[in-house]
Structure 1
Amino acid sequence: MSARSDAHARLEDARAFLESARTIDTLNDEESYADVIATNAVHAGIAAADVVCLLALGQHSKAENHADAVKMLREAGGDTAALSRLLSEKTKAGYNIKSLTRTKAAKCIEWAGKLLQAAEGTYAEH
Structure 2
Amino acid sequence: MNPRSSKIRTIIADKAVQQGRLAKARQFMLVADEARELSDGDGVSDAAVTLYVHAGIAAADAICAGALGRHAHGQDHQDAIALLASVDKQAATSLSVPLGMKTRAGYGHDPISETNLTRAERAARSLVENASL
TM > 0.5 fold call? yes
Q: Could you tell me which of 47, 61, 75 is aligned with 2:72?
A: 61
Per-residue deviation at 1:106? 1.8
Counterpart for residue 55 of structure 2: 44
Root-mean-square deviation over aligned CA pairs: 1.4
Cα distance in 1 between the residues matched to 2:111 and 2:13: 39
Question: Helix, strand or coil for the counterpart of 1:60?
Answer: strand
Cα distance in 2 between the residues matched to 1:23 and 1:107: 17
Normalising to structure 2: TM-score of the pair? 0.86
- How many corresponding residue pairs? 121
The one-letter amino acid paired with 2:75 is: E
1:31–1:101 Cα contact (<8 Å) kept = no
Normalising to structure 1: TM-score of the pair? 0.90
Per-residue deviation at 1:104? 1.3
Taking the TM superposition and a 5 Å limit, the aligned residue runs for 1:91-106 are: 91-106=103-118
1:44-73: CA deviation from partner (whole Å, max 9, x where unpaired): 011000001111111111121111000110
Question: Helix, strand or coil for the counterpart of 1:99?
Answer: coil
Cα distance in 2 between the residues matched to 1:112 and 1:56: 19
Any unmatched runs of 5+ in structure 2? 1-11
The one-letter amino acid paired with 1:29 is: D
Please state which structure has a larger fraction of its residues in helix: 1
Counterpart for residue 13 of structure 1: 24
Counterpart for residue 124 of structure 1: none
Any unmatched runs of 5+ in structure 1? 122-126
Query: Where do 4+ consecutive residues of structure 1 move more than 3 Å?
Result: none
Q: Could you tell me which of 103, 118, 124 is aligned with 2:130?
A: 118
